[in-house]
Amino acid sequence: MAASRRTTRRTFLKTGAAGLAALAAPRGFGATPDLKLKKPIKVGCQTILSGPLGGYGEFMRKGAVLAMEEINASGGVGGSPLELNFRDEELKVDVGVKNARYFVDDWGADFLIGIDSSAVALAVGEIMPTLNKILIVTHGATEKFNEDLVYKKHIKQCFRICVPVYQDGIASAFIAKDLPVKKWATISPDYEYGHTSWKMFRATLKRMKPEVEFVGESFAKFGTVDFSSHISKVMGAQPEAIFSTEWGGEAVTMVKQAKLFKVFEQTKAFMIAMGSAMDVLQGLGADYPDGVWASGRYYFGYPDTPQNKKFVETFRKRWQSYPSYVSETSYAALYAIKKAVEKAKTLEIDPVIAALEGLQVDRPAGPCTIRKEDHQAIYAVPWGRIKHDPNFPMPILGDLRVAPTDEYYRKPPFPPVEA
């Protein structure tokens, strides 16, 4: 526990310094030079906008719109204004592929961003060479996207600006190793994301703390409205702690039902990898049990830098809500596009890809580097414990802990995960 605290402080100081440096840099200094690119630059964004997980898409849209408004107010991208278009991904592979084709072939998109589902991210990623546009994923988290599609199959058009399942499956184990529990179980989604996170969590935790046991698991289908049978199955194995990667409205339902089944009284720890997403914090409100460990792909209270504070304030003024993590990732994606295009001084694919590789982006979540080998953005996101603070309209995270990115981001050549 002491070790992780120490890293927290170090990372914190580092990011704080970088944040200040970013602020000192000539941001919005004069008008952006006119690169005489095509006008406007079109960005197609697809995200989940309906159903039990639809809250995510709303937050993603708000972050992207905010970035577009800021960028356009200060001269656009190389003198060209940004134009956004949104479509509902419905978390369906066929819909996702159709949306991507529509954006590029019919609407004339220059860039694609968004995508919540891992399966959709993989399917759209596969067709990016045909469409030959750059895709920046802002949510879908499967490691297969950067490890297989980009690193192994060399699909260079694919990028990801959000932290992948390393946050859910590896950074989580850095927290879990210090908790006074040995018997773990999971209730997680029955698709790529849920299975892969649980596998990474088991592998990492077992390596750091060999005495742990994994006593139960239940995977719920997409669209589950009643987790009762999953909860009773897992609790039947008498775990001391629950690890879950349920998200959005399904996480809200699961926590409500777990409370009814007195799971929080019967276990000593509960972790929800995407539990600090704003729609979960707001959706559960006062019902969110104190002390649940939660994380996301950005948390509005971290890092404590002027740049992050400014983003949170601007977002609140614009949308009357705190930003969720997908708001930050879509915001960061548009700024990454701006920076890369202005560096490449063209919209041609290859130079822009080259500009994105290794690019440093100073985003609200802190400074990040887009790794050249697998086109994955590297930055740190904290885990923390749910607490209720009267100064905030929703529960927030306390006791923030950050694992060092160097240890929790898997690295090329990406050895197989053994669990």
The residues binding another protein (CB under 8 A) are 49-55, 58, 190, 218-219, 221, 223, 225-226, 228-233, 235-236, 248-250, 252-253, 256-257, 259-262, 266, 279, 283-284, 287
Cβ proximity to another protein, 95 vs 378, nearer residue: 95
Instruction: Tell the smallest beta-carbon distance from residue 215 to another protein (Å).
Output: 13
Cβ proximity to another protein, 104 vs 187, nearer residue: 187
Instruction: Tell the smallest beta-carbon distance from residue 294 to another protein (Å).
Output: 17
Please count the CA atoms within 13 angstroms of the CA of 291 that sit on its side-chain side: 9
Instruction: Tell the smallest beta-carbon distance from residue 61 to another protein (Å).
Output: 12
- By the 10 Å C-beta count (0-12 exposed, 13-18 middle, 19+ buried), 413 is classed as exposed
Please count the CA atoms within 13 angstroms of the CA of 302 that sit on its side-chain side: 26
Instruction: Tell the smallest beta-carbon distance from residue 221 to another protein (Å).
Output: 6
Cβ proximity to another protein, 13 vs 260, nearer residue: 260
Cβ proximity to another protein, 261 vs 319, nearer residue: 261
Secondary structure (H, E, C), 319-379:
HCCCCCHHHHHHHHHHHHHHHHHHHHCCCCHHHHHHHHCCCEEEECCEEEEECCCCCEEEC
Instruction: Tell the smallest beta-carbon distance from residue 176 to another protein (Å).
Output: 23
Instruction: Tell the smallest beta-carbon distance from residue 58 to another protein (Å).
Output: 6
Write the CA distances from 263 to 175, 228, 231, integer angstroms: 20, 11, 8
Please count the CA atoms within 13 angstroms of the CA of 216 that sit on its side-chain side: 17
| Whether the Cβ atoms of residue 142 and residue 199 lie closer than 8 Å to each other | no
Cβ proximity to another protein, 54 vs 81, nearer residue: 54
Cβ proximity to another protein, 221 vs 317, nearer residue: 221
Instruction: Tell the smallest beta-carbon distance from residue 51 to another protein (Å).
Output: 5
Cβ proximity to another protein, 55 vs 78, nearer residue: 55
* Sign of the four-CA dihedral 411, 417, 418, 419: positive
Cβ proximity to another protein, 69 vs 190, nearer residue: 190
- By the 10 Å C-beta count (0-12 exposed, 13-18 middle, 19+ buried), 63 is classed as buried
Nearest 5°: CA angle at 83, between 79 and 89? Answer: 145
How does DSSP classify residue 260?
H
- Edge-to-edge strand ranges of the sheet holding 293-294: 213-220, 183-189, 241-244, 269-272, 293-294, 383-387, 396-401
Which residue has tokens 């990732």? Answer: 329
Cβ proximity to another protein, 150 vs 235, nearer residue: 235
Other CB atoms within a 10 A radius of the CB of residue 285 amount to 12
Instruction: Tell the smallest beta-carbon distance from residue 143 to another protein (Å).
Output: 22
Instruction: Tell the smallest beta-carbon distance from residue 398 to another protein (Å).
Output: 23
How far apart are alpha carbons 63 and 57 in whole angstroms?
10
